[in-house]
């Protein structure tokens, strides 16, 4: 565990004024993937305890690897901040500190410490949005982000304190059998998981997410979609693992809301004109299917959820980064004005097609494996679920093709700069996101060994 934590702390201390500081940080983040990879493929699948406060198992290891990978991609994708000297030292500190907080969140075995890190991750995220956002509306987006997530998290703190009082332990490894005397078990479970539902986010608690994505810089959108949304699903998995019988009390309600939300957000995607807004709403739809699979409390539902977390983390981060590349080329995010990218640079149009295909879970991406497992766990719950699931699958294909065809065909803007759009850096970022999505389908045990 120290092989991960000590290098993560040391990155915070790098304060050189070197022109290539971003390269040092991004390459260091990639190298730190190796210890997590070793833990993941250790001969024993039992959790690895380096300290009573920390745990490294095959659930947290893929998410830690994803955190390091996306953090390095964020540094590479934010070259505009580096080249224009827009407080680049502070920006690097925010990225590395957020990376360190997320590593602690995924590796802790203490519920109270998990809650502290869970909330602390909001601070660097808010600073990134407020400090390097594009429009004055970022103030409102930051307020929405804090109000939704902090308000929903306070009942979670109360619930964790009840657990600590009852069991005299806040470890994630304790025996979960204890009686509820203060309130109904159903109410207790609702207030416990609501913080995670808002974080993912569940439909009806999702209004903060499109605002935050639209106003955030590319690094903020990448980490928000790829990692921060997964904090909610990771916390829900950990709590459901401790209290496996509780999900059955509330699963019909959450599955119904999530499937309805996936249907609504998929239709909302078809009327979006802003690229980042469309990608943000599609994230809400994907996470709704993930919530439904988690609440089934089945092995396939949980493995499919982790698979979808990894797949969605890579694909959504790549979608936001390529949308930012398009914005820096055409100087607009409007799909009415962004036309004819196929005529400007066909290679990046091919990347758009690859990412759009992955977003609709086309083979051979790992998204397909995740969706098959999730849908296979949801359908036995009720025959009625086949109707919204079928419509959502069709609409996911529709809005992905809509995003691709509208932006790639037509007459391109005369102000577009194809030399920037076709840079080696841009191609590398998209490739480094896309290749793992295809490679994991050849080695699915990377994800499916934890349960």
Range from 67-71, 289-293, 419-423 carrying the lowest mean pLDDT: 419-423
DSSP 8-state assignment for residue 244: T
Distance CA 314, CA 73 (A): 10
Identify how many contiguous H helices and E strands the chain contains and give both numbers: 23, 2
Give residue 154's pLDDT band: very low, low, confident or very high (50, 70, 90).
very high
Give residue 177's pLDDT band: very low, low, confident or very high (50, 70, 90).
low
Q: Supply the mean pLDDT for the chain.
A: 86
Is the previous residue joined to 364 through a cis bond, with omega within 30 degrees of 0? yes
More confident residue, 166 or 409: 409
Give residue 51's pLDDT band: very low, low, confident or very high (50, 70, 90).
low
Does pLDDT of 45 surpass 60?
A: no
**Which range scores top for mean pLDDT: 161-170, 309-318, 436-445?**
309-318
Distance set, CA 87 to CA 5, 84, 128, 154, 164 (Å)? 26, 9, 11, 33, 43
Does pLDDT of 146 surpass 50?
A: yes
pLDDT for position 42: 57
Give residue 421's pLDDT band: very low, low, confident or very high (50, 70, 90).
low
Range of the domain at 442: 2-448
pLDDT for position 443: 79
Does pLDDT of 178 surpass 60?
A: no
Average pLDDT (340-347) is: 85
pLDDT for position 55: 80
Average pLDDT (241-245) is: 78
Q: What residues pair up with 108 in beta bridges, in sequence order?
A: 54
Please, are residues 200 and 171 in contact by the beta-carbon 8 Å criterion? no
Distance CA 70, CA 426 (A): 15
pLDDT tens-digit readout, 423-439: 788 889 999 999 999 98
State the number of CA atoms in the 13 A half-sphere of 73 facing the CB. 32
Distance set, CA 241 to CA 51, 65, 235 (Å)? 21, 22, 10
Distance CA 47, CA 44 (A): 8
pLDDT for position 84: 73
pLDDT for position 364: 87
Distance CA 127, CA 175 (A): 39
More confident residue, 440 or 392: 392
Of 38, 140, 22, give the one whose Cα is nearest residue 446: 38
Determine which helix (DSSP H) or strand (DSSP E) holds 238, and give its type and residue range: helix 229-242
Strand, helix or coil for residue 52: coil
More confident residue, 88 or 149: 149
Distance set, CA 331 to CA 153, 323, 338, 414, 415 (Å)? 38, 11, 9, 11, 8
Does pLDDT of 49 surpass 60?
A: no
pLDDT for position 24: 79
Count of structural domains within the chain: 1
Give residue 16's pLDDT band: very low, low, confident or very high (50, 70, 90).
low
Give residue 319's pLDDT band: very low, low, confident or very high (50, 70, 90).
very high
Does pLDDT of 354 surpass 90?
A: yes
Average pLDDT (303-316) is: 94
Give residue 113's pLDDT band: very low, low, confident or very high (50, 70, 90).
very high
pLDDT for position 43: 44
Range from 23-37, 55-69, 72-86, 167-181 carrying the lowest mean pLDDT: 167-181
Of 286, 405, 315, give the one whose Cα is nearest residue 353: 405
pLDDT for position 174: 65
Please, are residues 145 and 152 in contact by the beta-carbon 8 Å criterion? no
More confident residue, 189 or 7: 189
Range from 251-260, 306-315, 416-425 carrying the lowest mean pLDDT: 416-425
Range from 80-89, 217-226, 361-370 carrying the lowest mean pLDDT: 80-89
Give residue 386's pLDDT band: very low, low, confident or very high (50, 70, 90).
very high
Distance set, CA 339 to CA 93, 301, 345, 413, 430 (Å)? 37, 40, 12, 7, 20
């Amino acid at each position: 565990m120290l092989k991960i934590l000590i290098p993560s702390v040391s990155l915070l201390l790098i304060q050189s004024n070197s022109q290539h500081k971003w390269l040092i940080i991004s390459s260091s983040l990639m190298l730190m993937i190796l210890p997590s990879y070793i833990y993941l493929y250790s001969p024993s699948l039992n959790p690895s305890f380096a300290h009573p406060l920390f745990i490294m198992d095959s659930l947290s290891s893929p998410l830690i690897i994803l955190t390091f990978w996306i953090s390095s991609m964020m540094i590479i994708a934010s070259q505009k901040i580096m080249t224009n000297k827009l407080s680049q030292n502070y920006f690097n500190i925010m990225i590395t500190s957020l990376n360190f907080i997320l590593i602690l969140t995924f590796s802790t075995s203490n519920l109270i410490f998990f809650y502290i890190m869970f909330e602390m991750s909001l601070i660097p995220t808010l600073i990134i949005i407020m400090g390097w956002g594009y429009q004055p509306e970022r103030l409102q987006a930051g307020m929405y982000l804090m109000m939704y997530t902090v308000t929903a998290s306070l009942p979670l703190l109360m619930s964790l304190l009840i657990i600590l009082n009852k069991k005299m332990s806040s470890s994630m490894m304790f025996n979960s059998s204890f009686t509820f005397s203060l309130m109904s078990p159903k109410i207790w479970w609702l207030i416990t998981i609501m913080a995670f539902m808002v974080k993912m986010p569940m439909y009806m608690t999702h209004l903060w997410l499109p605002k935050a994505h639209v106003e955030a810089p590319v690094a903020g959108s990448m980490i928000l979609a790829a990692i921060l949304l997964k904090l909610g699903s990771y916390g829900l998995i950990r709590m459901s693992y401790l209290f496996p019988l509780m999900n059955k009390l509330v699963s019909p309600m959450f599955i119904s809301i999530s499937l309805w939300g996936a249907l609504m957000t998929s239709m909302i995607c078809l009327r979006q004109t802003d690229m980042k807004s469309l990608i943000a709403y599609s994230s809400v739809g994907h996470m709704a299917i993930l919530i439904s699979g988690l609440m089934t409390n089945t092995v396939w539902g949980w493995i499919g959820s982790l698979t979808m977390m990894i797949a969605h983390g890579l694909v959504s981060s790549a979608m936001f980064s390529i949308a930012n590349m398009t914005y820096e080329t055409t100087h607009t995010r409007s799909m009415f004005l962004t036309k004819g990218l196929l005529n400007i640079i066909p290679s990046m149009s091919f990347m758009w097609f690859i990412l759009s295909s992955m977003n609709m879970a086309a083979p051979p991406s790992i998204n397909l494996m995740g969706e098959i497992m999730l849908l296979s766990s949801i359908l036995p719950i009720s025959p009625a679920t086949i109707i919204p699931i079928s419509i959502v699958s069709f609409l996911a294909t529709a809005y992905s093709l809509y995003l691709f065809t509208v932006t790639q065909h037509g007459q391109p803007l005369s102000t577009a700069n194809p030399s920037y759009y076709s840079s080696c850096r841009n191609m590398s970022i998209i490739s480094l996101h896309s290749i793992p999505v295809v490679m994991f389908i050849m080695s699915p045990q990377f994800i499916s060994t934890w349960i």
